Amino acid sequence: MPNNTVFSPQILPEHIALIKAQGFKTIINNRPDGEEPNQPQNAAIEQAASEAGIAYFYQPVVASAISQKDCEDFADIFNNAEKPVFMFCRTGNRCNILFHHTEHLDLLH
């Protein structure tokens, strides 16, 4: 768990209570809405996080096209986020890629 961070596959709004119970303070969603049919929409997950009192950020990225700007935007969110951080996307892989690209650029504190 680098820097108190977990990379997870897609979550549902009803998973927020468990995430909070596990002690996470911030959730970052890196999955764009509409990638697949029946995918939970960002707004529903964000609402559940807000109701649970967990900080929530939506930063959709495409794993094959992560840019320096994506990394800079992520660093701004992550560096100011209360830890530990729970990140998710479809499989957790793009979160891992974004985190490590940003770390490689020496943008994480």
Domains of the chain as residue ranges with CATH: 2-104 (3.90.190.10)
Within the chain, what is the greatest distance between any pair of CA atoms? Answer: 37
What's the pLDDT at 97? 96
Task: Give me the pLDDT at residue 67, please.
Answer: 96
Whole-angstrom distance, CA of residue 105 vs CA of residue 18: 33
What pLDDT does 108 receive?
95
In terms of pTM, does the model score above 0.75? yes
Note the pLDDT of residue 40.
95
Check pLDDT > 80 for residue 79: yes
3-state secondary structure of 50: helix
Q: Band of the pLDDT at 93, cuts 50, 70, 90?
A: very high
Give residue 7's identity as a one-letter amino acid code: F
